[in-house]
Chain A
Amino acid sequence: MTTTVHNSKGTATPGLLGRLLSSGTHQRLLAFTSLIILLVVFSVASPHFMQTSNIIAILQATSVNGVLAVAATLVIITGGIDLSVGTLMTFTAVIAGVVLTFAGMPLPLGIAAAIAAGVFCGFCSGSFIAKMKIPPFIATLGMMLILKGLSLVISGTRPIYFNNTPGFDQISRGSLIGDLLPALPIPNGVLILFLVALAASYVLRRTVLGRYTFALGSNEEAVRLSGVNTDRWKIAVYALAGGICGIAGILIASRLNSAQPALGMGYELEAIAAVVIGGTSLSGGKGTILGTLIGALIMAVLTNGLRVLSVAQEWQTVVTGAIIILAVYADMARRKKS
């Protein structure tokens, strides 16, 4: 459990220093420091890196992976894993394509359909895990393949374009903030990521669902023996994560102005990597949305920075892998000490 920085007055909370040294904060500090170091190194190494257009590109690149990582964070805090977030994103994009392009329905219906499809698929994964007692890894691996196949089947293996839905591409590419403050042309995709993260963080800290999310990961059997209907809450977490994947589906479809049915595989691993770099424990019970956001940013900065420095794409992948191992090693070393 993390302590809020803005706490009510008069409570017996440890001081600021104590909180900074507490484990969750420590990991976030570690990740945050790494992010700053990366930014400094890249901006010294290349004059192009710190340009506004490049920063916007980094943020834009973070948005989809960030939203998926938020979904993965929820599931991972319960002690589970969701390998289907990537193909679920694609599946929901295809559903949006079916509703908007094939059926020609209005935009809000398409968005609603994508999110509903995500919730439904998450509900299915959760049910396989909670009711049929299939390990999360297997259940969501199966789901990943099912959704990949279904996306191809439904779309007829061809991309679905959203040319008939005016404004669809603006969901991700437009900039509401830029309209108001021309100096800050932050794309809507980033704004949406921010809102999703804020909402997820609120759910985790302030709601029953969030409390049980941490409790399930901390000690599921103890929670069950407390008389909590653990199955139901677990399914709810997967369903919520599915819904968030639906939002990611809309984002990526909007960015590409099309639903690409072959896309999606591999996104789940990037999302999980961001979660892990952000200090969320794969064994459950610990984690923060802020950490995950920083993790997603680190991944995006790395990819972008290495590209700006003209490092070959093959080597970018190698570096990313090494960073993941380093991040988790740092986490383990810290845990051992405490």
Chain B
Amino acid sequence: MSLGKEIGLATRQFGGRSGVAWTRPSLTLLIAWRNLVHDRVRFAVTLVGIAFSTILVGIQLGMLLNFLHTTSTVVDHAGADLWVAAHGVPSVDLATPIDGRRRFQSLAVEGVAVAEPYLLHFGFWKRADGIRQIVILIGVEPGAEMGLPLTLPAGQSFREALSSPDGIIIDRLYAEKLGVTGLNQLVEINDRRARVVGFTDGIRTFTQSPYVFTSLRNARSLLGRTDNLITYVLIRLAPGQDPATVIERLSARMPDVDVMTSREFAANSQKYWLLTTGAGISIICSSLLALFVGVVIVAQTLYASTMDRLPEYAVIRAMGGPRWYLYKIVIEQAVIGGLIGSVVGIGAVAVLVYLGRNMSSPPLVPAWLALGIGAVTVVMCVGASLVSISKITSIDPVKVFR
């Protein structure tokens, strides 16, 4: 068979010219991948940049989540439906006292099943070596249903532990900081004697002042208080009661205090530290900065890659390829880089979180946050490709003939 007939046969077999649809799997993914791996050094730099950005964002947001979590951890784990607090309390750790009779006034309100006193106040812990640490004393009645540390290790009873008149419970995370080496160790709080009778696990504090749980009576003793003042009244509603209705009744009966649901109080505490102190804003800004750095790195790399490939892209335009075909190549390059970079970055974040699990303020990166960061990274990479796309938009197919 002649050369001409062979070519004719080969070309005529192709049938109709339907044109490629953008939704159809096409060669663009292969071209995108080959474009990326063609220059391995550049690809490696891109991946490092994306991974680095992911790590920064992951750790920053993990810190923020831990920040939010720890600012309201006492409220979240108290098990109360409602909190009665002094008017204008900004955060659970920064409270002013209320009269202890508020408990009984609360109990008299319809819809309240249980009302318990809760005392929270800063104290000075003195270690054996003389170094003083600020702690947050939390006093609850030994028979309380709310406000107890939820993570007491198996085999220990909070009520039994606090039955001793000077008994206190601290978290293992802070034992070293407080100079505690074991149970029954005697310590000083506000120059009064106390004895470590139990350990909790994983009750972290945002202020870095460890929580010290004790009985209400012992807390008053350690604080040198002879009055009847408390910090909060924790309320559990009777079954079937509407919180909003009960809050109205409590507010009507005690107009000089604030009554909030646990959710509201936790949110207020988080907002206070997040917005008022500027700490949260700075973390958010750091995260955005990390994202921006990632965008710049990806945009720069993709742009350089696109500029290298302009003659080939112009060929595709000259051959009659639609613009979106070229856009697809660039966007797929961005998505591939984003996916690989974010997987590497999230993997590194997971390792860092694991290594820092025993720190007092470790980043908190649950699966939803990791997936979210991955998605944001990919979107960021696609966003970064817009610079290259703008270049392709103005591509002139005539250039390939020059």
A binds B: no
